[in-house]
Amino acid sequence: MSRGLLRKAIGRARGPAVRATRRWGRVRGLTERGMSTAEYAVGTLAACTFAAVLIAVVKSGAIKSALSGLITSALSIAS
């Protein structure tokens, strides 16, 4: 069998598989169109929740006094 005929035979054998792979890629791309919006919404919600917890912790009495002491000692060392 010559090289040209062999390449044509291999190309025909691969043709349907390649077309199916390309089609599956297009179908998969269509189904994931809204995913980025949902992921951003979940990420934003998680960040807001983390910020709320962090604010609650920082406003507690023990942490507030520790931060005040740390800032006071840092300012007294600088002067």
Q: With CA atoms as reference, report the closest residue to 9 among 20, 1, 17, 18.
A: 1
pTM of the predicted model over 0.85: no
**Residue 22 domain boundaries:** 1-33
Q: pLDDT per residue over 21-79, tens digit each?
A: 767 667 666 655 666 778 889 989 999 999 999 999 888 888 888 888 998 998 887 65
CA distance 63 to 67: 6
Judge if 71 and 42 occupy the same domain.
yes
Q: Are residues 16 and 47 in the same domain?
A: no
pLDDT for res 52: 95
40 shares a domain with 23: no
Q: Which pLDDT score is estimated for 38?
A: 82
